[in-house]
Structure 1
Amino acid sequence: MGQLRTSPPTPQATEIERWELTSGAELRTLRASLHKALTGEVLADGASLEDIPEAVVLVATELATNALVHGLPPTTVRLLRADDCFILDVADHDLTTIPELADTRPLGSGGRGLQLARAFSLDVGWYATEGTKHIWASFPRG
């Protein structure tokens, strides 16, 4: 299995919005709220997203699901803005595991969230603080 680089996102990034999740039932609200934070518009049911918001929402859903299933609650999802990019930062409280790319698993067996993050974002990394493990992904701004 591959490993991600260990570094926090750019320190110049400022937080736009934060969500605290305790169950998968909250993912739908996260997706709608995240879309609004990125575009200023509420996503109507059945509406399609533009490329960048769609990628951010997809990666947020995957990383938050991983944190909810494999981490310790609560899961914190933050949307940050830097000069040239958006940064998605997903944290949980399980410091006993290191994020690894599931590149050796068969398709359909799960564990592809980090691969999707790498495919749809500019950069992906992870870091730990005293009480949380963070996985982040950066995306171009518009």
Structure 2
Amino acid sequence: MPLYDCMLLLKPHVKKENLMDLVARVGKHVYRRNGALGDIKSFGTVQLGYGIKKLDGRYYQGQLMQMSMMVTPNFNEELHYLNKEDRLLQWLLVKHRNTKYGLEFLNEDDVKSELEKFQQSTLFNDEDIDEDEDDEEYEVNQDEEKR
């Protein structure tokens, strides 16, 4: 299943409970289709570059939400019920291109060689640390201390 981002632009006056209700409905729809919901981000109220005209007026602000999900490619057609949603100004489903995950990610030779480098190396090598050099820099003569 490919990775998608669902961007939801809601009317600015929508309460948080109603906003979460809409996000939960989309999330339940994802789970019913055997998808996986990854990340939900809220960008708060954003200023729009142009007004979006709806039946109850023109909006120059909106509440922006982003939901990351793994769903089947035909999921876009299933989200068209959002067009009738009163609280939404606009919605958009964006597919992540050239993103490798799962078995595709693990089967690549380049990735395996890179992972092997991390497993064999350590953060600090004992050979690189030379304590004598550091001590010389901060040595204080005992004669100077007595003065």
> TM-score with structure 1 length normalisation?
0.40
Q: Name the one with the larger helix percent.
A: 2
